[in-house]
Structure 1
Amino acid sequence: MPNTHVPAAGEAMPAANVSRRLALLGGLSAAAALAALPRAHATPAEHLDAELFRLDREMEEAEARMEAASDANCRAGSMCEKLYPPRPPEWKRPSTPDHVLDILADMSFNDRKAEQQPEPVRAWYKACAEQKSESEALWKAYKTKVEEIDCEAGMDGLEDAYNDSVDAMWQVGHRIFATPADTLDGIIIKIRAGDRMGAPDANEAFLSIAADVRRLAAAEATS
């Protein structure tokens, strides 16, 4: 996933990167509030949003670990698929023969459920049950073999590692949203975190940014 550029100290903010999201923050009023935010004139360590810069780097590293875990999972999965046996066909109940349909047409519902059914009907039901049982046995053997192959490749561990890496990245994202932004640099970091996490977590980013804009706009109005 490409990383959004974080402007260096004193560099102009890329308005195109935030214009679409400004509409979600209240249109022109939000844009005016953002325009009043202080620009970066210090190194990231001295920046008003230094903590957000630190979290942004932490999230970038977490995202890299997540992508590496995803790649490892996909590679192992592709190798396993090459070793899987052929999938058994899906069992579908065959069409009822005409002679059985003729017999059933002359029987009441209760007669059909009775134990003493005409031999052709019982033979038909028995044949269907046997076919279904054979299909279930084939599928059970297939799934057992697939599980053995996955186990030998360590797929469970790889999937757990990927899920853990996703959780770790999202935890950093939530910490970013919980940290107030005091400059446009910090708000852009929150936008990037929302993009990395995707919907529905992006909504949390927009709510966090909206709170920042309202807080900073109020401070600007009273200064």
Structure 2
Amino acid sequence: MDEHGKHDRHGDRHGHADRHAGHGPSTPVHQRGAHGHGQPGHGHHNGAYRNPEDLDAYVKRQLDPARAEWQKPDRVLRTLGLRRGAVVADIGAGAGFWVLKLARAVGREGHVYAVEPEPQLIAVLRERLTTARMSNVSPVLGRDDDPMLPAGVCDVVLIVNTYHHFPDGPAFLRKVARLLRRGGAIVNIDFAKRETPVGPPVEHRVAREDFLRDARRAGLRLVAEHDFLPHQYFLVLKPSRVR
């Protein structure tokens, strides 16, 4: 779901815009309820999944090598400081732009849960994992209102270009917070609510301030913020109450 494809205001990336593609110039995220992850074609609203109409084009946009120029995945991973053996959940994993990178970062001792609500994208991801011989990744068919993972399993939960797909953001964040181990963190990277060369239409974006308000309602606090991404905010949050 992680969106980043071109803005194509016609295709509603499955409703809102290419959710995972990499959001090129404002790809309409597909209509997944109030938010969607952003790649063309699969729009699911409140739990009703719809796969991308043009799966190949969607995957191509999402995995476009040019995305690295502005998404800066290597620097993001260095900043997160993932240790070998860590357990990470990628919410809205799509075709796996982040998944393989995360799997390499945590090593064989670690594990990545790739949560994605679009069945066809889960199938694409499985093929990529087989080709890459990755054994430390578990694809998970999630929902817009539930990541479908057990509590207390994750050191880090990564949400990239996906928050606008959740029909009830604070409720979803509360469920995500339950996934964390003691000391764990939620990382949200998403497009600023302004025109940018890539990304979903501005009207589908969630402003930094609005996201933080939702996070506070969900019992989360901001512990770090990084500003090196040209089109996105990068926030690190933890539960306000230490469990």
TM beyond 0.5: no
Instruction: Return the structure number with greater relative CO, CA threshold 8 A, min gap 6.
Output: 1
Q: TM (normalized to structure 2)?
A: 0.23
Q: Which has the higher strand share?
A: 2
Q: TM (normalized to structure 1)?
A: 0.24
Q: Which has the higher helix share?
A: 1
